[in-house]
A and B are shown apart, each in its own frame.
Chain A
């Protein structure tokens, strides 16, 4: 029996000269990919964690990205130079803190093509959907219908299930095709005069599917429904504009876009936010409090109870500057190309089953594919594979990726997921493929 090695990881990436997995099918893509991969090597140097771990191939970017130095510095600098609570103080330090917090809101608004009053700071995408389910839910009646999809993250399922239990709202799910695309014909049939909201993800965190949300939103509006978008995976890889998307609501997290933990954004159209009741109660969300009641503040403050994540908002604005400097579209295009290289390499390994859209048929659809590739290797449990890869310096997520219904749909309990970020390189992808080949022998 071959003895498994628990020795220090020996990492092949720097020793490799010619990548064996470059296929001749995209030679023009290849040369641009090589150039961009060299850029990614330089980009790594902007990330303290990656600089400190040159052997680490961090491929769990759909869970959270690493943070560039400028973002870490922004948060520390706020604490060192402007730490005070916001919206209350008359003294100048408090004013400085408020100004930085509100400047961050304006920066987010400009980034997504919204007005500052339409930007609510949350703890993350999950809180954004909980806020929406609570506040919008107050305006719904038993029998009203909400359409979600089978590829949603739990964050865009469970808040609605809680609402359904509370108010008798009915949930409908857009089914998936075997290729991992939304079944648009089935979606069309689900829409009815009872539909009050359609809420879907722009990019699947498991399948990598990029959904045609503008179309989905248009159909929702045609049916008289509101449209909400989960942009958690999309925001670091494509320049978003809420008007172009046709989104009435849009939620994302800071930490998946090179920003800090503990901050997220819920965008809502101003006229809608004015109609919605508050979510959490407390300080900052009120205009006046009497013993017999309260008057809520105007949006967005109406939805921001308590001391907000101030330093995180300030650092998020810096992450947005960073992202804009590199261009989310440009990063997304590179990551998708790298994902495609991984996809095509995986296809050559016997026993690998890839989940999600197939490139050979994708061009005939309205869908695209992001740099997220989930797969299984026959006969090897994803947990064992993840632990094996960890020893070789690869950080990949194994499990259901917070999407149980999706895993069930494809009959896969546990899969391995590689999700590409701005700093991943050709060498990392190629050495991952080599490691998977080796795993077949060793595990």
Chain B
């Protein structure tokens, strides 16, 4: 199995069997008007300031949905500061501003290394991370 096959397998697995998907309420969706995909992210922070739970909810293609699942898994157990850093790194890679290799330390997020070179799918992959950044920014104001 070469890298791109492995990446596709990871993406498919998160798309078909998401672990972090559940119906959410009271959180606005972040939408991709051009394709209609929408995602919202819920983060809960414990007394130590760590993200205890992360969930997503939404509709969209395999890239946007698997990206949301991977995002939620990645952020759990991280501080808000760490979360912000991971999110900006991921979005930076998609914008071509941060080296692709940065994804290698980010668990399953490495699966989007291929997508990062496909301009049409980049915004699908970025959607959940944009939604998470909004949540992190709100939480940072509270803590």
Q: Which of A370-419 contact B (CB under 8 A)?
A: 381-384, 387, 399-400, 413-414
Q: Are B4 and A384 in contact (CB under 8 A)?
A: no
Give the complex CA separation of A443 and B16 in angstroms: 9
**Could you say which of A6, A382, A400 has the most chain B C-beta atoms within 10 Å of its C-beta?**
A6
Which residue of A1, A6, A383 contacts B35 across the interface (Cβ within 8 Å)? A383
| Shortest distance between the CB of B48 and any CB in chain A (Å) | 37
A-chain residues with CB within 8 Å of residue B120 when the two chains form the complex: 383
Using Cβ atoms and an 8 Å threshold, which residues of chain A touch B121? 383, 387
Contact A3 B9 (CB under 8 A): yes
Q: How far is the CA of A381 from the CA of B36 in the complex (A)?
A: 11
- Chain A residues numbered 127-179 whose CB sits less than 8 Å from any CB in chain B: none
Which one of A3, A4, A381 lies within 8 Å of B61 (CB-CB)? A381
B92: Cβ under 8 A from any A Cβ:
no
CB distance from B112 to the nearest CB of A (A): 14
Q: Are B35 and A414 in contact (CB under 8 A)?
A: yes
Chain A residues near B127 (CB-CB < 8 A): none
In the complex, the answer to whether A399 meets B12 with C-beta atoms within 8 Å is: no
B7-49 interface bits toward A, Cβ cutoff 8 Å, 1 = contact, 0 = none: 0110011001000000000000000001110000000000000
B63 beta carbon closer than 8 Å to chain A:
yes
Assuming the A-B contacts A3-B1, A414-B36, are A384 and B9 also in contact, with contact meaning beta carbons closer than 8 angstroms in the complex? Answer: no
Task: List A1-42 residues whose CB lies under 8 Å from chain B.
Answer: 1, 3-6
Nearest chain B residue, comparing its CB with the CB of A413: B36
- Interface size on A, as a range, is 10 to 19
Q: Cβ of A383: which chain B residues have Cβ within 8 Å of it? A: 35, 61, 63, 120-121, 124
A441 → chain B closest CB, angstroms? 13
A412, closest chain B residue (CB): B36
Nearest to A6 among chain B residues (CB) is: B4
Report the separation of the CA atoms of residues A344 and B134 in the bound assembly, to the nearest whole angstrom: 47
Range of interface residues on B (Cβ < 8 Å): 10 to 19
* B60 contacts chain A at the CB level, 8 A cutoff: yes
- CB-CB nearest in chain A for B118: A387
Cβ contact within 8 Å between B1 and A399? no
Whether A4 contacts B62 in the complex (CB less than 8 A), given A387-B121, A399-B34, A413-B36, comes out as no
- Asked whether, in the complex, the Cβ of B8 is within 8 Å of the Cβ of A381, the reply is no
A384 near B62 with CB under 8 A, answer yes
Q: How far is the CA of A281 from the CA of B127 in the complex (A)?
A: 42
What residue in chain B is nearest A385 (Cβ atoms)? B61
**A3 → chain B closest CB, angstroms:** 6
Bound-state Cα–Cα, A283 to B35, Å: 41
In the bound assembly, the distance between CA atoms of A3 and B36 in angstroms comes to 28
Contact among A4, A382, A443 for B9, CB-based, below 8 A: A4
Give chain B residues whose Cβ lies under 8 Å from the Cβ of A1: 9, 12-13, 16
Q: B23 CB to closest chain A CB, in angstroms?
A: 19
Q: Which residues of A contact B60 (CB under 8 A)?
A: 381
B5 within 8 A of A: yes
> What are the residues of chain A within 8 A of B63 when measuring CB–CB?
383-384
A380 to chain B, nearest CB (A): 9
Q: For residue A5, which residues in chain B have a CB less than 8 angstroms away from its CB? A: 5
Contact B34 A4 (CB under 8 A): no
Q: Within the assembled complex, what's the spacing in Å between the Cα atoms of A1 and B8? A: 12
Contact partners of A382 in chain B: CB under 8 A = 61
Closest to A408 in B: B36
- Bound state CA distance, A6 and B9, in angstroms? 11
Closest Cβ of chain A: how far from B5's Cβ, in Å? 6
Find the residue from B4, B34, B35, B120 having the highest chain A CB count within 10 A: B35
Known A-B contacts A413-B35, A413-B36; the reply to A381 vs B62 at CB < 8 A is yes
On whether the beta carbons of B8 and A400 are closer than 8 Å, the reply is no
Question: Which residues does chain A contribute within 8 Å of B16, judged by CB atoms?
Answer: 1
A3-B5 contact given A383-B124, A399-B35, A414-B35, CB 8 Å threshold? yes
Check if B36 sits within 8 Å of A4, measured CB to CB: no
Kindly identify which residue among A6, A381, A387 contacts B5, using a CB–CB cutoff of 8 Å.
A6
Most central of A1, A5, A383, A399 by chain B CB within 10 Å: A383
Q: Which residue of A lies closest to B12 (CB)?
A: A4
Q: When chains A and B are docked, how far (Å) is the Cα of A414 from the Cα of B35?
A: 6
Q: Give the shortest distance, in Å, between A56 (CB) and chain B (any CB).
A: 18
Distance (Å) between the CB of B63 and the closest chain A CB?
7
* Bound Cα distance from A94 to B62, whole angstroms: 56
Residues on the A chain within 8 Å of B62, using CB: 381, 384, 443
A382–B35 CA distance with the chains assembled, in angstroms: 9
Would A400 and B13 count as touching, CB distance under 8 A?
A: no
**In the complex, the 4 A-B pairs of residues with the closest C-beta atoms, listed nearest first:** A413-B36, A381-B61, A383-B61, A4-B8
Extra A-B contacts (13), CB below 8 Å, given A381-B61, A400-B35: A1-B9, A1-B12, A3-B1, A4-B5, A4-B8, A4-B9, A382-B61, A384-B63, A387-B121, A399-B34, A400-B34, A400-B36, A413-B36
Query: Can you list 9 A-B pairs with a CB-CB distance of less than 8 A?
Result: A3-B1, A3-B9, A4-B9, A382-B61, A383-B35, A383-B120, A384-B63, A399-B35, A400-B34
